[in-house]
Amino acid sequence: MANFETPEIKEYPTIPLIKEGVMAHSKPFISKDAFQQPLGFPGELLDNWQDVAIEKMGEMLGKYRGLQVFLDSCVKCGACTDKCHYFLGTSDPKNMPVARQDLLRKVYRRYFTFAGKYFPKLVGAVDMTKEVLDDWYSYFHQCSQCRRCSVYCPYGIDTAEISMAAREIMDAVGVGQKYCNEIIAKVYKIGNNLGLPEPALRDTLEGLEEDVLEDTGVAVKYPLDVKGADILLVTPSADFFAEPHVDGLIGYGKVFHAAGASWTISSHASEAANFGMFIGSYENMRKVALRIREAALDLGVKRIIFGECGHAWRVAYSFLNTLAGPFDFLDPRYPVPQHICEYTYDLLKRGALTMDKSANDHMRLTFHDSCNVARASRMGDLPGGQFVIPREVIKASCNHFYDMNADTIHEGTFCCGGGGGLLTDDLMEIRVKGALPRMSALKQVVEEHGVTHLAAICAICKSQFSKVMPYYGFQMSQIVSVHQLVSNAIVLNDKQ
Amino acid sequence: MSLSAAYTALFYVAIVIFVVGLGLRISKYAKTPAPLKIPTTPAPVTQGGVVLRMFREVVFFQSLFKGNKWTWIFGWIFHASLLLAFFRHLRYAMSPDNILWPLVSLEVVQSFGKYAGFAMLVGLIGLFGRRIFVDRVRYISSPSDYLMLILIFAIAASGLGMSFVAHTDIVSLKAFVLGLIYFNPQPLPSDPLVLIHLGLVALLMIIFPVSKLLHAPGVFFSPTRNQIDNPREKRHLSPWAAKLETNERS
């Protein structure tokens, strides 16, 4: 299967002793010229790359307060050292959040601080060399920007911000990551990460309509580019064909159908995910986000709702208004945007949906809090709504729900191991190893409560789990979409 | 007299570096925009909530408590003792007609401040021990991280030495400090403990603005802790990001 060993799930979670350099070989494929140009990045490593890198770092220090404060404030207390799933799964000390930050901080200190300029050895400052750049490329692509470390840092230092900055600098000198940059280029050209053009999309959605009709006898519609629809649904393109994502999409359609809502998908903005965030590029993130604004204006919708996607929900909830707002042309009675779970939860609370929980009796469920939903967004009006609302939707759809260990859910949730631009086959080893903490917590509820399925609300989590679960002795079919459960339980009425 | 003059000069230099250096740093933090809403959630949805979150963070080290109980207990003991010791020292910098004098001279302030020195040593030894014995913390420690602990340890130990072993001429010392404040230089007692104590304090002030001690002002400017979670309700736009929009329209 692979030329690495899957870590062993221990009876109790343990903090490994450090093993230096064991993941130094992990590097994703480097982006080609053809994927760099559309994003505005040089196609290969520049001759004067050191100067460009330092200049870029200086520019970013003036644009991002977080970066400046985070680089200055760390006292090396060590509270974050055992919090990263990649460290717990690999034992490589450079996967400890503080050590990952230090890869960038030691260069910052050398060029931008008094102590680093005059006493480099004392404070661990180094020149920007090719070796340092190689280390950056390796280890800043072993961070899924999940923000777990930032929860435990006394100064709130967020390694995700540091990783994004490092990737932005690497792009600026011409060393981009193929997976992310190729995908962003595809969004610019076609409208989604998978490169599904409008006809293919239309075909897929018609196929879904036929399947659902055959399955339920009810003509649920999956509309595309319908002008004048009330709701624009923006969902990750994986929802259009991947398993179990597509079962979630079927579920959204059934919920809209049951609510009698008028809705549409847009072929122009047929992607919820925004990989501009992964590479730390405000400009590219903004360009991708503006497609959603354009689609909303073009179709004349009143509301925007996002499908199940973790990092997408972060960009949608936290950044969309900033990047592509103001949304004063939409119906002011609804938040912009809304999450599909908020929408379904609202209907459930109003008693507008009929649910037959026994339809999911063949499953005993637990819920994986997706990292960026948990620690970088909210649902509903109250802090923590992002934990409550998906669980309420699940509990309304099934009879058997059990949470995993308290240290591994809510704000302490572990990343699936594939987030932040790492969901690519050339990073399989780090993905498998990074899934260890989540797999350990899952195994515990499997043994204690007979849990059979793991529900998630993120396209990356779903793809990642269906790929890595077999490494840990589970089956790929044990990961399900939350709206797949809704889809199974919802009772549709022909008259609607 | 020459030694007193040297210490007088040292303190003026140290104070200028401390105040100007820190002021420049804080002004840089304040002026640099935070272009995106990045509070670590769940986060408060009101300004009042953010003030409370920051209070819990600064007074109780809430996040560190969640992160590591040993680091928290040693770190908290150290910082709390530092604060108590600071209050005690105020009496050396004010005359009895100062309005704060009745507070500062309270028995409770003085004796807590006195014994806090021991607690400070306990905290520092604990933090030093973690740097040596926990392999992860040892890996991330630079020479400056050890030296900083040693520096503060030496300051605390020399201070305790003057309280419990070899008293200095506290009346002259106070005259020296007040002399600094009122620009009327006075002689400094010349016993080694007081020279060590004051010299190291001056050194600490000098390195403050160029070291990790910047975590003190930094925590207040950390966007993951000080931002309100209201991105859908209120549009957040930094000046440089707003320019991207204006450029497109023109």
Express each pLDDT in B209-240 by its tens digit: 999 999 999 999 999 999 999 999 999 999 99
* Single-letter code of the amino acid located at A192: N
Chain B residues 126-155 within an 8 A CB cutoff of chain A: 127, 130, 134-137, 139-145, 147
Determine the average pLDDT of the residues in B3-24: 97
User: What helix, strand, coil percent values describe chain B, rounded to 5?
Assistant: 75, 0, 25
Residue at token pair 């399955």: A215
What's the sign of the alpha-carbon dihedral B225, B227, B228, B231? negative
pLDDT the model gives residue A494: 59
Residue that is written with structure tokens 């809090």 in the block? A369
Taking alpha carbons only, the member of A23, A53, A226, A76 closest to residue A128 is A53
Q: Is A77 helix (H, G, I), strand (E, B) or coil?
A: coil
Q: Is B35 on the interface with A (CB under 8 A)?
A: yes
Could you give the maximum distance between any two Cα atoms of chain A, in Å? 78
What is the structure's pLDDT at A251?
A: 98
Q: Give the C-alpha separation, B199 to B98, whole Å.
A: 27
Per the listing, tokens 């293919």 go with A200
B59 token code pair = 């007074």
- Which residue segments constitute the domains of chain A, with CATH numbers given? 33-176 (1.10.1060), 185-402+451-489 (no CATH)
- Predicted pLDDT of residue B248: 75
Q: With beta carbons under 8 A apart, name residues in chain A contacting B141.
A: 76
Shortest CB distance from B219 goes to which of A63, A155, A321? A155
CA distances from A372 to A388, A420, B4 (A): 15, 10, 59
- B148's tokens: 């900083």
* Closest residue of chain B to A60, computed from CA coordinates: B32
Number of H helices, E strands in chain B: 13, 0
User: Once rounded to an integer, what is the mean pLDDT over residues A394-411?
Assistant: 97
Whether pLDDT at A138 is above 80? yes
Structure letter (DSSP) for residue A316:
I
Express each pLDDT in A352-382 by its tens digit. Answer: 999 999 999 999 999 999 999 999 999 999 9
Comparing CB atoms, the residue among B25, B210, B232 nearest residue A321 is B232
Check residue A31 and give its pLDDT: 96
Confidence of residue A480 (pLDDT cuts 50, 70, 90): very high
Note whether B44 contacts A: Cβ–Cβ < 8 A.
Answer: yes
Distance CA A489, CA A382 (A): 27
The two three-digit tokens of residue B178, written as one number:
């007040």
Q: Does B75 touch chain A (CB under 8 A)?
A: yes
**Tokens representing residue A238 in the block:** 């994986």
- Return the pLDDT at B249: 57
- Summarised one tens digit per residue, pLDDT across range A231-288 is 999 999 999 989 999 999 999 999 999 999 999 999 999 999 999 999 999 999 999 9
* Amino acid A195: pLDDT: 86
Q: What's the number of CA atoms in the CB half-sphere (13 Å) around residue B233?
A: 9
CB A167 within 8 A of CB A177: yes
For residue A210, pLDDT beyond 60: yes
Task: Grade residue A127 by pLDDT with cuts at 50, 70 and 90.
Answer: very high
Confidence tier at A3 by pLDDT (50, 70, 90): confident
Surface-to-core class of residue B18, CB atoms within 10 Å of its CB (0-12 exposed, 13-18 middle, 19+ buried): middle
Residues of chain B contacting A121 with CB distance shorter than 8 Å:
143
Answer yes or no: is pLDDT of B205 > 90: yes
Are the beta carbons of A168 and A279 closer than 8 angstroms? yes
Question: How far apart are the C-alpha atoms of B65 and B51, rounded to whole Å?
Answer: 19
Q: What percent of chain B has pLDDT over 90?
A: 97
- Please provide the size of chain B in residues: 250
In sequence order, the 6+-apart residues with CB closer than 8 A to the CB of B147 are A122
Interface check B25 vs A, CB under 8 A:
yes
Yes or no, beta carbons of A69 and B240 under 8 Å apart: no
3-state SS of chain A?
A: CCCCCCCCCCCCCCCCCCCCCCCCCCCCCECCHHHHHHHCCCCCCCCCHHHHHHHHHHHHHHHCHHHHHHHHHCCCCCCCCCCCHHHHHHCCHHHCHHHHHHHHHHHHHHHHCHHHHHCHHHHCCCCCCHHHHHHHHHHCCCCCCCCHHHHHCCCCCCHHHHHHHHHHHHHHCCCCEHHHHHHHHHHHHCCCCCCCCHHHHHHHHHHHHHHHHHHHCCCCCCCECCCCCCEEEECCHHHHCCCCHHHHHHHHHHHHHHHCCCEEECCCCCCCCCCCCCCCCHHHHHHHHHHHHHHHHHHCCCEEEECCCHHHHHHHHHHHHHHHCCCCCCCCCCCCCEEHHHHHHHHHHCCCCCECHHHHCCCCEEECCCHHHHHHCCCCCCCCHHHHHHHHHHHCCCCCECCCCHHHCHHHCCCCCCCCCCCCHHHHHHHHHHCHHHHHHHHHHHHHHCCCEEEECCHHHHHHHHHHHHHHCCCHHHEEEHHHHHHHHECCCCCC
Residue A496 has pLDDT above 50, yes or no: no
pLDDT digits (tens, 9 = 90+) for A54-73: 999 999 999 999 999 999 99
Rounded distance between C-alpha atoms, residue A158 and residue A345, angstroms? 31
How far apart CA A445 and CA A478 sit, in angstroms, is: 13
In chain B the first and final C-alpha atoms are separated, in Å, by 69
CA distance A99 to A114: 21
Chain B CB contacts of A321 below 8 Å:
231-232, 235-236
Rounded to the nearest angstrom, the gap between the alpha carbon of residue A56 and the centroid of all alpha carbons in its chain is: 26
Q: How much is the mean pLDDT over chain B?
A: 96
Do residues B229 and B44 touch, judged by C-beta distance below 8 A?
A: yes
**pLDDT tens, B141-174?**
999 999 999 999 999 999 999 999 999 999 999 9
Has residue B7 got a pLDDT over 90? yes
Residues of B in contact with A65 (CB under 8 A): 29, 32-34, 221, 223
Which one of A74, A154, A376 has the shortest CB-CB distance to B63?
A154
CB contact under 8 A, B224 and A66: yes
> Choosing among B224, B227, B234, which should be mutated to test the A contact, i.e. which has the most A CBs within 10 A?
B224
Is it the case that residue A7 has pLDDT exceeding 80? yes
Whole-number Å distance between alpha carbons of B159 and B92? 13
- For chain B, state the CA radius of gyration: 22
Mean pLDDT calculated for residue range B186-199 = 96
Q: Which amino acid is present at A93?
A: P
Task: Determine which helix (DSSP H) or strand (DSSP E) holds B247, and give its type and residue range.
Answer: helix B239-249
Do A184 and A279 touch, CB atoms closer than 8 A?
Answer: yes
What does the mean pLDDT of chain A come to? 96
What is the band of A178 on the pLDDT scale with cuts at 50, 70, 90? very high
- pLDDT tens digits along A301-357: 999 999 999 999 999 999 999 999 999 999 999 999 999 999 999 999 999 999 999
DSSP state of B234: S
* Band of residue A11 on the pLDDT scale cut at 50, 70, 90: confident
* Closest chain A residue by Cα to residue B230: A318
Q: Which residue intervals of A300-339 are DSSP H helices?
A: 310-314, 320-324
Q: A470 to chain B nearest CA, in Å? A: 31
Tell me, what's the pLDDT at A452?
A: 98
Chain A nearest-CA distance from B162, in A, is 30
Are residues B140 and A386, on separate chains, in Cβ contact within 8 Å? Answer: no
Mean pLDDT over A171-189 rounds to 96
The tens digit of pLDDT for each residue in A146-159 reads: 999 999 999 999 99
Give me the helices (H) in B61-142, please.
62-67, 69-89, 101-104, 107-133, 135-140
Cβ-defined contact of A79 to B68 (cutoff 8 Å) = yes
Please give the share of chain B, as a percent, with pLDDT higher than 70. Answer: 99
Do residue B64 and residue A102 have CB atoms under 8 angstroms apart? no
